[in-house]
Structure 1
């Protein structure tokens, strides 16, 4: 099964939701909210912002969960 590459990220600062493409070759450690400009980082224990704030975890986690 191919990993899903689009995730909806919910900004913890303003609550805005934005669809974003996830990289397949690396984790994304920082993400800037296009609505409020807040630069967010993953929660402790998560590898990337998609695992912390996304509707879908990153591709590398999707592959290991299969």
Structure 2
């Protein structure tokens, strides 16, 4: 079962927000609602959910690799 809800934590200000992950695309950019910092995936990660989310993106969850 793939979990689509993930909590993203901003590394700059610590703000947390629950988001629904898309199943058909990766998110390479995410703007923090609190401090307006644009988050990008860390080196080696395929999307912002893999870098800053409590739950990895759907393709990683099912073992099919990056989106």
Q: Confirm or deny a common fold (TM above 0.5).
A: yes
List structure 1 segments (4+ residues) > 6 angstroms apart after TM superposition.
Answer: none
Determine the structure 1 residue equivalent to 2:6.
7
| Alignment partners' CA distance in 1, 2:25 and 2:62 | 13
Gaps of 5+ in 2: none
Q: Does 1:31 align with 2:30?
A: yes
Q: What's the Cα RMSD here?
A: 1.1
Give distance in 2, aligned partners of 1:47 and 1:13: 20
- Name the CA distance, whole Å, in 1 between partners of 2:53 and 2:33: 15
Using the TM superposition, give the Cα deviation of residue 29 of structure 1 relative to its aligned residue in structure 2, in angstroms. Answer: 0.4
Q: What TM-score does the superposition give when structure 2 sets the normalisation length?
A: 0.91
Paired residue total: 64
Give the TM-score taking structure 1 as reference length.
0.92
Q: Does 1:18 align with 2:20?
A: no
